[in-house]
Structure 1
Amino acid sequence: MSSSMSKNKPLNHLFASLSFEALFLSKKGICIAQNQAAKDIFGYTDEEAIGRPGTDWIHPDDRALVAQKMQENYAQPYKVLALRKNGTSFPCEIQAKNIKHEGEKIRVTAVRNISKQQNLENELSDKIKELEIITDSIPNSIWKAKVSKDGQISETYISSSVDQLLGQPPGTINSDWDKYFSFILPEYLDKLRETIQAGIENPGQTFTVRYQVKKADGSLAWFSSCGKGELEGEEVIAYGFTYDITAKKEKEDQLQTLMATKDKFFSIISHDLRNPFTAFMGFSELMLRQLKKGQYDNIEKYARAIYSTARSGGELLSNLLDWSRSQRGKITFRPEKINLHELVQSVLMFFEEPARSKEIKIESTIASDITLMADHNMLNTILRNLVSNAIKFSYRNTTVNLSITQQNNSVLLEVEDIGQGIEPEQQQKLFRIDSNESFPGTEEEKGTGLGLILCKEFVDKHNGQIEVESEPGKGSKFTVKLPQNTRS
């Protein structure tokens, strides 16, 4: 060490006590001393170092920064690129401070080689970038959040692929938990939060929840989030995946509908279609016995029963065949110009006997000149089923009202009865094959519930709407709204 250093024992002690690798003393920016580590790292002897500007140890790109820090007496660590005597450079961390020594201002500068640390940081940065590229390229979104014991969420992370899932521009969510939740339909939020909370309260157990979101284009999609919570001290780290299951959900719904259709089909064949034949045989046997005995008093009664059973069975068979063809895509939609007054009269003739047997009056209100572009067979089926149901669920000695009116470019068909009505919870299931149930009429008439399902399918074919208003014990009104100029 130089002679100037040997005269300053306090500074020697300072050099020995500081933990940085290289130490320099400078006065007015000129080096007056260096320690052994500085010699080893930078390659300057004392003779070469003393009297040189301190910035000679700094890469030219960073010299202005170091000069500024010296002028400001900046005392916090900062990073620059250091320069060795042989011209090679390396990243370093500098910390310096001005001190008073024997009445003079001396700057003590400590330099630490952070090449290894920088390499590790660069490697870590590369790994993070690589991980981000991988996670962003995965079609599913990866997420993580820290949850405290009082439920506070922090350190959230949601991979940017979530923007693609939502159809949003890149950077929309930006790991914002609340912003992501804003895309979820409100009716699913409580269930989602409850499921995540249950997963947090039961670390190690996998949880899964399905919910709907509204995408950028306004379309709805089904998402599924699957995750797990892990304890970390008194906090829980929740992490998992979110992916779009819309296509899968549609297939599941289709499968469920197919299974319900199959069950309904076999139920009708095995039970409802068998009943008319049982009635045929029973009443036919009674008629034969009466005829053999020469007793004719009840013949008309049995004949009416057979007729009623035949009509009911024929109606059921017709619906069943139409429905079967519809499910197999065998029904062709052929709209044509239809005079609704004529169609209604032909349909009502079919129900004269069943209406008379229950002392029900059918009143129709329709202008003779109302026409509609519609499929004749489908419209016939719609009217036939609505009138049939009205009679079936009407109380004896009441009136069924059928009206057809024109409203702008649409036609309204309304069939209203006074009868037992439909419970509110059942109204939501009337047109669904997977939850539809049949109920007996006011005089225990049998049915399958298939007619209304068929009505819904045929109304949809016309791009129309079918609705029901009903009050238990008072009756029901079915309204069908069809565009007047439906085209194939």
Structure 2
Amino acid sequence: MAQNENLDSLFARLSFEALFLSKKGICIAQNQAARDLFGYTDDEAIGRPGTDWIHPDDRKLVAKKMQEDFAQPYKVLAMRKDGSTLPCEIQAKNIEHNGQKIRVTALRDITKQQIIEDKLNEKIRELDVITHSIPNSIWKAKITNDGEITETYISGSADQLLNLPSGTINNDWKKYLSYLLPEYNALIKETIQAGVENPGKTLTVRYKVKKGDGTIAWFSSSGKAEQRDNDMFAYGFTYDITSEKEKEDKLQDLMATKDKFFSIISHDLRNPFTAFMGFSELMLRQVEKGQYNNIEKYARAIYSTARSGGELLSNLLDWSRSQRGKISFKPEKINIHDLFHAVLMFFEEPVKSKEIKIESTIASDISLVADYNMLNTILRNLVSNAIKFSYRQSSITISITQNIDMVILKVQDQGTGIEPEAQAKLFQIDTNQSNPGTEEEKGTGLGLILCKEFVDRHNGEIEVESEPGKGSIFVVKLPAEQPKS
């Protein structure tokens, strides 16, 4: 009786949660909180297996923990006398009492806590659904003192952005970075370091990625870092800006086109007219004086200037129409031998003037399906370019060959050649600069740019091989047939 009084006294002092004493898994005592919570009287409780207070689904778990003398708290679903259930946190510990091994088990009602946790988990699920549905990826990361990324969260939208199966990234920062093009890794590290050094400042970095399907895309990540206690955390989002970047690049091209256009109109196109007026005035004065010795000289100069100005104006108009999408593509079967000789006739005067020899190997039966006007422009500009940069009394070699499905045009001169850094800019409107020819012939650089545009329209390729002082070779490869629209 004294023993039970001691137990009752002990339980009375620990009445904030349901307590049970058990021996070999059988209940030998309970406190008042246990009576109130589960509804069993002492007569009903004492002698019952301890698992009777546990829902059948969790009884094996509790029995296993009892066998292991498990002492850490864990969650179970408990069951009252009336069969109703409630979530509880259970914790048990073996003690020695009056020389006997007794297990003290505490059950704490966590219904309110569980409701809060369920609501929180529901909010987390809702947030997860929202972040997965947003096309942009949301992320959070802890940044160590040495700039390493740990404890990352990356929303599932990252998989969608990278065209990957759901769950591929799975909050793995290194795996995400593996899809960046290698040349951007250093930029990402620099931006992270800048964020650490400037807490609260929003930073943006643009970089290229290779998606799961192999396509290359532009991504932009924006975020900021903040200090919390002794730790640094970064928050931000990432989105695909490929479409915006293409529009931006197109706008830059248009601006460069506009600048080039006005530059040509204001300077290069004015020069031929200045020359016309100068030589015409000289001719007029000679005629007025009855002196005709230099008339032929002036006439040739006017012709040469007119031809140069006409070529420039033709390129300018073609280029302008091309930029506005006003040039239609009308492929037809063309005998390239006949077209080539028609083009050469246009250059009889400058070839004769510079005493240049043109050597050609073009079979009379070579033909291809192409747009006549575009092909004429390509040939005309390549030959004009070769003449412009050829030295007096040198030669130009032109060959046109045909294999199974390709026509290959080569124009080789023995002129000034092109520096390597300038070769990369030949076909770019925003960086191209035209140099004067060997006898100070003027140009705009539009000719080669037009060649590139028209070759691209034919699904062909244009290449240049050149060495300063040793001339240049321009190679154009065009399909013999064009795909049917």
Tell me if 1:194 matches 2:190: yes
- Counterpart of 1:27 (choices 23, 28, 32) is 23
For 2:65, the equivalent position in structure 1 comes to 69
Tell me if 1:430 matches 2:431: no
Tell me if 1:84 matches 2:80: yes
Tell me if 1:311 matches 2:307: yes
What letter matches 1:64 in structure 2? K
What CA distance in whole angstroms lies between the structure 2 residues aligned with 1:461 and 1:65?
73
For 1:466, the equivalent position in structure 2 comes to 462
- Counterpart of 1:341 (choices 334, 337, 340) is 337
TM-score (norm 2): 0.94
Q: CA deviation at 1:374?
A: 1.7
- Counterpart of 1:161 (choices 148, 154, 157) is 157
Q: Secondary structure at the match of 1:377?
A: helix
TM-score (norm 1): 0.93
- Counterpart of 1:208 (choices 195, 204, 210) is 204
User: Where does 1:356-395 land on structure 2 (aligned, <5 Å)?
Assistant: 356-395=352-391
Tell me if 1:96 matches 2:95: no
Asked if the contact 1:148–1:234 (Cα under 8 Å) also holds between the matched residues in 2, the reply is: no
User: Where does 1:96-175 land on structure 2 (aligned, <5 Å)?
Assistant: 96-175=92-171
Tell me if 1:351 matches 2:350: no
Q: CA deviation at 1:284?
A: 0.5
Q: Quickly say closer, same or farther: Cα 1:450–1:29, change in 2 above 3 A.
A: same
Query: C-alpha offsets along residues 195-216 of structure 1, whole Å, 9 cap, x if unaligned?
Result: 2332233221111111222223
Q: Secondary structure at the match of 1:139?
A: coil
What CA distance in whole angstroms lies between the structure 2 residues aligned with 1:473 and 1:190?
40
User: Where does 1:171-190 land on structure 2 (aligned, <5 Å)?
Assistant: 171-190=167-186
Tell me if 1:43 matches 2:36: no
Tell me if 1:228 matches 2:227: no
What CA distance in whole angstroms lies between the structure 1 residues aligned with 2:14 and 2:291?
128
User: Where does 1:391-470 land on structure 2 (aligned, <5 Å)?
Assistant: 391-470=387-466
Q: Secondary structure at the match of 1:385?
A: helix
What letter matches 1:5 in structure 2? N
Q: Quickly say closer, same or farther: Cα 1:268–1:88, change in 2 above 3 A.
A: same
What CA distance in whole angstroms lies between the structure 2 residues aligned with 1:278 and 1:443?
18
What CA distance in whole angstroms lies between the structure 2 residues aligned with 1:78 and 1:333?
76
For 1:327, the equivalent position in structure 2 comes to 323
Q: CA deviation at 1:48?
A: 4.1
Query: C-alpha offsets along residues 339-377 of structure 1, whole Å, 9 cap, x if unaligned?
Result: 222222221121121122222222112122222222222
For 2:4, the equivalent position in structure 1 comes to 5
What CA distance in whole angstroms lies between the structure 2 residues aligned with 1:187 and 1:43?
70
Q: CA deviation at 1:33?
A: 2.2
Q: Quickly say closer, same or farther: Cα 1:425–1:13, change in 2 above 3 A.
A: farther
What CA distance in whole angstroms lies between the structure 1 residues aligned with 2:187 and 2:94?
62
Deviating more after overlay: 306-315 vs 71-80? 71-80
Deviating more after overlay: 448-457 vs 176-185? 176-185
What CA distance in whole angstroms lies between the structure 1 residues aligned with 2:186 and 2:377?
43
What CA distance in whole angstroms lies between the structure 2 residues aligned with 1:266 and 1:117?
74
What CA distance in whole angstroms lies between the structure 1 residues aligned with 2:166 and 2:227?
32
What letter matches 2:133 in structure 1? S
Q: Quickly say closer, same or farther: Cα 1:140–1:342, change in 2 above 3 A.
A: same
Deviating more after overlay: 318-327 vs 144-153? 318-327
Q: CA deviation at 1:20?
A: 6.4
Structure 1: segments with no counterpart, 5+ residues: none
Query: C-alpha offsets along residues 14-59 of structure 1, whole Å, 9 cap, x if unaligned?
Result: 6577696222212233322222332333334444433333233223
Deviating more after overlay: 366-375 vs 268-277? 366-375
Asked if the contact 2:15–2:32 (Cα under 8 Å) also holds between the matched residues in 1, the reply is: no
Q: Secondary structure at the match of 2:370?
A: strand
Q: Quickly say closer, same or farther: Cα 1:317–1:211, change in 2 above 3 A.
A: same
Deviating more after overlay: 364-373 vs 446-455? 364-373
What letter matches 1:275 in structure 2? N
What letter matches 1:168 in structure 2? L
Q: CA deviation at 1:3?
A: 5.4
Deviating more after overlay: 23-32 vs 269-278? 23-32
- Counterpart of 1:293 (choices 282, 289, 293) is 289
What letter matches 2:356 in structure 1? I
What letter matches 1:32 in structure 2? I
What CA distance in whole angstroms lies between the structure 2 residues aligned with 1:199 and 1:68?
51
Q: CA deviation at 1:186?
A: 2.2
What letter matches 1:182 in structure 2? S
Structure 2: segments with no counterpart, 5+ residues: none
Q: Secondary structure at the match of 1:154?
A: strand
Percent identity (aligned): 75
What letter matches 2:68 in structure 1? E
Q: Quickly say closer, same or farther: Cα 1:351–1:29, change in 2 above 3 A.
A: same
CA RMSD, aligned part only?
Answer: 2.1
Q: CA deviation at 1:234?
A: 3.5
Q: CA deviation at 1:281?
A: 0.4
Asked if the contact 1:431–1:456 (Cα under 8 Å) also holds between the matched residues in 2, the reply is: yes
Query: C-alpha offsets along residues 239-269 of structure 1, whole Å, 9 cap, x if unaligned?
Result: 2111111111111122222222222222222
What CA distance in whole angstroms lies between the structure 2 residues aligned with 1:458 and 1:334?
12
Asked if the contact 1:422–1:476 (Cα under 8 Å) also holds between the matched residues in 2, the reply is: yes
What CA distance in whole angstroms lies between the structure 2 residues aligned with 1:18 and 1:299?
125
Q: Quickly say closer, same or farther: Cα 1:27–1:256, change in 2 above 3 A.
A: same
